[in-house]
Every structure is written in structure tokens, then in C-alpha cells.
Amino acid sequence: MDSAKAKLLLRVAAAVELLSLLVLLGNLATVHVPAVASVLGPTHGCAYLFVIIAAIQAGAQGRGRAKAFVPGVGGLLAVRHLDRS
């Protein structure tokens, strides 16, 4: 896979991961609708795994790869690391 495509996929997956986490936490803090958690929980989990895979495909090494493993914001940190290097 082209590095630029992998970087774009990493950006999208990082945004989905963060957004799904924010909605899950907002749901938990307010109305706690079980249907929201049952839909967004697996979505967040899949986005988290996709971020890790996309970071590896984008060529992240060392710290950049390690940052991808941080739940919630790891994808954004990995993208930032890739942009700087």
C-alpha cells in the first residue's frame, strides 16, 4: 500500500476512534442509552485496531508505532509523529 494512502486511512481511522470514544463517554455521563453503547463500542474497538494497523502500514517506527497503541488519541499522535518525520 502506498504510504500516502496509508497515512490518509490513519487520519480517518484516528478521527473515527476519537469521535466514537467521545460519544461513548458522553452517553455514559448523560443518558446511558444501551443501544448507543452496543453500536459504538465495537465501532470504537475496530477503529482502534485499524489505527494500529494503519500506523504500521504508513511506516511508523519506534515511538510513532508505540503512540498508535494509546487508546483514544493514539492515532492522532501517530499521525503527528509521521508528519514531523
Does this model's pTM top 0.95?
no
Total number of domains in the chain:
1
Interval 29-80: pLDDT, tens = 999 999 999 999 999 999 999 999 999 999 889 998 999 999 999 999 999 9
How many of the other CB atoms lie within 10 Å of CB of 38? Answer: 9
Cα Dmax for the chain: 43
Query: What sign results for the dihedral spanned by CA atoms 36, 41, 47, 50?
Result: negative
Domain holding 44, by residue range, is: 3-84
Residues 6+ apart with CB under 8 A from 60: 67, 68, 78, 81, 82
| Cα separation, 80 vs 60, whole angstroms | 11
